[in-house]
Amino acid sequence: MTDRHTHRVIPLQDLRPETLPLPTDALDPSLRIQPNGLLADTRGRALRDLRISVTDRCNFRCNYCMPKEIFDKDYAYLPHSALLSFEEITRLARQFIAHGVQKIRLTGGEPLLRKNLEQLVAQLAALRTLDGTPLDITLTTNGSLLVRKAQALQDAGLRRVTVSLDGLDDAVFRAMNDVDFPVADVLAGIEAARAAGLGPIKINMVVKRGTNEQEILPMARHFRGSGMVLRFIEYMDVGATNGWRMNEVMPSAEVVKLIQSELPLVALEASQPGETAQRWGYADAHGRHDPALGEIGVISSVTQAFCHSCNRARLSTEGQLYLCLFAEKGYDLRSLLRGGASDVDLANAIGHIWQARNDNYSEQRSAMPLDSGAAVKRVEMSYIGG
């Protein structure tokens, strides 16, 4: 592990960027976009996945997301009045669904810190896609509260969870979450989620070179054959508070090579359009994928951009719509909601915003000099969700 006292400069700045003006056509009654599920942006990308951040708070201080030196006891979080209510979130979700959204992922911060979250889950679970099927409602969590919350969430209509877990070694895990939280409690939360039927469970491990790459093989061994999908995520330059450096990124290709040195893998096809993870299945003695052994995924947003197939929009906890995880600014939908806009107005605004979308930050980054992307002011992951 690298010396935690290694000097680095992390800029202090306003972590909530300015908003973008709505497209000029967004509220023009003569230029209505009729929701029909066929909405596409300037690159032909459909809108299918909505990530909703329900809180900007978290009980962990992972140094790649919410470093303690920035998010300390004096940090000013959003007041409750600024957060979208569950009813406002559901109303907006209904308009996104009208444009083709089929999957909603609840994020944070740590979403389970939002009081009575199961009420929101129940409201979203009552919605239907354009073809009349239930939404795929999922949630990403650090797992710290799952023992208490898993069954209530499943009862409310949550289908699956993704748990962030950056290592099995307790000392490494406590150092990474930086609040001395034990790994055993997260593993207990994962088991509670499994017992509640919130599966298949995905486990996300952010790999930061010099910090936790030694945990890759132990994690692979532990979750192989468990029925859970372990995914390795390249350390990303999201926001500006984590002091991101390219030399701390371990490319997914190296992760796969390391695992294959002990546990043979075979490449698998994507399970759905726009999937962020490349899938690798554990092989049997004949070199074929053995479903009983399961699979891993690698998310390579730094070294292998997948902008061309991105079908995700992100709604912040105070109602700003972001079109890219690496966006600098978002569109203020809360002002429309609280300013008397009709459902037709909301759907039209969303339609024009997405139709004008041309984001491709990861592709642009690949053409930049190393580390140049780290100087750009972008929205923080703790504010927008992963």
pTM to 2 decimal places: 0.89
**Is residue 349 within 8 Å of residue 20, measured between CB atoms?**
no
pLDDT higher than 90, residue 19: no
Closest of 143, 84, 99, 97 to residue 124, by C-alpha: 97
Write the single-letter amino acid at 160: R
Distance CA 47, CA 268 (A): 25
Tell me what the pLDDT averaged over the chain comes to.
88
Question: What does the pLDDT look like over 83-124, one tens digit per residue?
Answer: 999 999 999 999 999 999 999 999 999 999 999 999 999 999
Residue 80 lies in a domain: yes
Residue 61 lies in a domain: yes
Residue 11 lies in a domain: no
Q: Is the peptide bond before 109 cis (omega within 30 degrees of 0)?
A: yes
Residue 8 lies in a domain: no
Higher model confidence: residue 300 or residue 167? 167
Q: Residue 179: which domain range?
A: 19-384
Q: How many domains does the chain have?
A: 1
Question: What does the pLDDT look like over 42-97, one tens digit per residue?
Answer: 999 999 999 999 999 999 998 878 888 888 888 899 999 999 999 999 999 999 99
**Is residue 207 within 8 Å of residue 169, measured between CB atoms?**
no
Residue 332 lies in a domain: yes
Residue 148 lies in a domain: yes
Question: What does the pLDDT look like over 327-345, one tens digit per residue?
Answer: 888 999 999 999 999 999 9
Residue 10 lies in a domain: no
What's the pLDDT score for residue 378?
A: 60
Pairing of β 295-299 and β 229-234: parallel
Within 10 angstroms of residue 54's Cβ, the number of other Cβ atoms is 26
pLDDT higher than 80, residue 17: no
Residue 337 lies in a domain: yes
What's the pLDDT score for residue 14?
A: 45
CATH number for the domain spanning 114: value is 3.20.20.70
